[in-house]
């Protein structure tokens, strides 16, 4: 399975997680402090880190920032509350997922496997995704429409990138709020609607006359290549 590092100061929780994940087949090491965990992460190079935010020596978000300076190892944040503002900060700082306490080893194992699947898929995906005349360079963060580069804000790019990786799939506003805006407990659909409107304008379309972005009322939005216009049949044909 995976080599997992758990950074957790609670002496009751930590051994339970270590034992539970080992029973799931993982190789597990652990540390009770942020700096100790950071050193282990650098020295041992685990496949994934489970990071508690409430550590005794340094805030978990700071540990994540220091870790991100030297490694892109996937990180799952462990938080006591889903509405903890520091959770959003950790996601914005580069965390890959989160779990809310209390959680079981089986639940954590499922999150670990899901994150590692996404990481592996990301390694295999092309650097540029093309849908119709739309080309999105994920690594270079550049977008071309019918051969012409269009200028997007960072948030508009993130929104488009999330959609273009799921061509033909209806993506809910809830998913967009979590994955693009990093708001795990929800947020305003209006935020999504406004950014979709700005993005449509730059793609040369509107909600009433869509080309790439189609709203599925009450569900979300779907990105797909435009359907070619079919000439009307003539009387002779």
Q: CA neighbours within 13 Å on the CB side: how many for 4? A: 28
Determine the Cα–Cα distance for residues 134 and 215; give it in Å rounded to an integer.
18
| pLDDT of residue 52 exceeding 60 | yes
Give kind and range of the element (H or E) at residue 234: none
* pLDDT in the model for residue 185: 59
Determine the Cα–Cα distance for residues 218 and 89; give it in Å rounded to an integer.
30
* pLDDT in the model for residue 186: 57
Task: Look over the chain and give the mean of its residue pLDDT values, rounded to a whole number.
Answer: 88
b/e for 154-186, b at 16 or more Cβ within 10 A? eebbbbbbebbbebeeebebeebbbebbbbbee
Q: How do residues 1-47 score in pLDDT, each as one tens digit? A: 899 999 999 999 999 999 999 999 999 999 999 999 999 999 999 99
The share of the chain scoring above pLDDT 90, in percent, equals: 57
β pairing state of 213-216 and 220-223: antiparallel
Q: How do residues 213-229 score in pLDDT, each as one tens digit? A: 999 988 899 999 997 75
Q: Report residue 71's pLDDT band, with 50, 70 and 90 as the boundaries.
A: confident
Q: Report residue 236's pLDDT band, with 50, 70 and 90 as the boundaries.
A: low
Whole-prediction pTM: 0.62
* pLDDT in the model for residue 127: 82
């Amino acid at each position: 399975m995976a080599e997992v590092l758990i950074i957790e100061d609670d002496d009751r929780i930590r051994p339970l997680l270590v034992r539970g994940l080992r029973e799931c087949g993982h190789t597990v090491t652990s540390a009770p402090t942020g700096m100790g965990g950071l050193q282990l992460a650098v020295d041992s190079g685990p496949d994934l880190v489970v990071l508690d935010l409430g550590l005794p020596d340094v805030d978990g978000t700071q540990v994540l920032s220091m870790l991100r300076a030297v490694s892109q190892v996937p990180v799952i944040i462990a938080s006591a509350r889903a509405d903890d503002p520091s959770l959003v900060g950790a996601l914005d700082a580069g965390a890959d997922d989160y779990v809310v306490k209390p959680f079981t080893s089986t639940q954590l194992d499922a999150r670990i496997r899901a994150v590692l699947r996404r990481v592996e898929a990301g390694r295999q995906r092309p650097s540029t995704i093309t849908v119709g005349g739309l080309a999105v360079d994920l690594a270079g963060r550049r977008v071309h429409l019918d051969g012409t580069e269009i200028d997007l804000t960072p948030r508009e790019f993130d929104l488009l990138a999330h959609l273009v990786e799921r061509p033909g799939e209806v993506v809910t506003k809830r998913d967009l709020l979590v994955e693009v805006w990093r708001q795990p407990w929800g947020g305003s659909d209006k935020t999504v609607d406004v950014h979709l409107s700005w993005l449509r304008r730059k793609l040369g379309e509107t909600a009433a006359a869509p080309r790439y972005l189609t709203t599925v009322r009450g569900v979300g939005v779907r990105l797909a290549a435009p359907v070619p216009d079919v000439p009307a049949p003539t009387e002779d044909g």
